[in-house]
Amino acid sequence: MGSDRWALSRGGAARSVTARQAPVVLPGVPNGRAALPPFPLVKLTLLADDHVRYEPAPGPLTVEAPSAETQFSPFHMLGGSLASCTFSVLAAWAQNARIPIDDLVIDVTWTFAEKPHRVGEIALRFAWPSLPENRLKAAERAAALCTVHATLAHPPRLVTVAARDAGAGVVGTPAAAAVDATRVAPGAGDVAPQARRPDAGGAAA
């Protein structure tokens, strides 16, 4: 797997971390996996509080904003993860189809819902001038293979564990097994997790 250097830029400051690419699962590919091509240099732009854009750009992967006052919010991270995952899948698909991706631009926007306050709808749109018109629907189907897309379309079990040290209560450990996970059903607004104490005979904490 290759690795890329990410840089977070805001107000003239920069911070870098390392990101790694995972194989992309595609139908019709031996073993169902396609190795990613050398990943293009890209940037994530925070266009608004509810809008991010992911596109090729020179230099390391950067997160940019119109002004230094713009906050890189968890919702930007959520939209950026969907855009990044979709870009990776389309890059692998495009390599197999021999279509350049230098002009692929992905926009993700979202709106909120209430009771409880949450992201209620996410819209992803990609513009790709190099993509032949007769491949538009195929590209849409490929984009839907993104694992983040599937995760959002089929909500996972959500487990929250409180602990006094970082090594306790990690999901998948006996401590976490004492917690009843909350399954968030599509369209259901209420989240009501219940915790049980292992030493209380199953009584609610």
Average pLDDT, the chain: 75
Q: Which domains does the chain have, with CATH numbers?
A: 3-154 (3.30.300.20), 155-205 (no CATH)
Using an 8 Å Cβ cutoff, are 68 and 46 in contact? no
Beta bridge partners of 48: 51
Angstrom distance (rounded) from CA 79 to CA 89: 16
How high is the pLDDT of residue 59? 73
Asked if the model's pLDDT at residue 42 lies above 70, the reply is: yes
Rounded mean pLDDT, 7-18:
37
Name the 3-class secondary structure at 125: strand
Asked if the model's pLDDT at residue 22 lies above 50, the reply is: no
Read off the pLDDT band of 182 (50, 70, 90).
very low
pTM strictly above 0.75: no
Read off the pLDDT band of 9 (50, 70, 90).
very low
Residue 104 structure tokens: 């692929």
Residues 6+ apart with CB under 8 A from 107: 47, 51, 52, 53, 54, 83, 124, 125, 126, 127
Rounded mean pLDDT, 157-179:
71
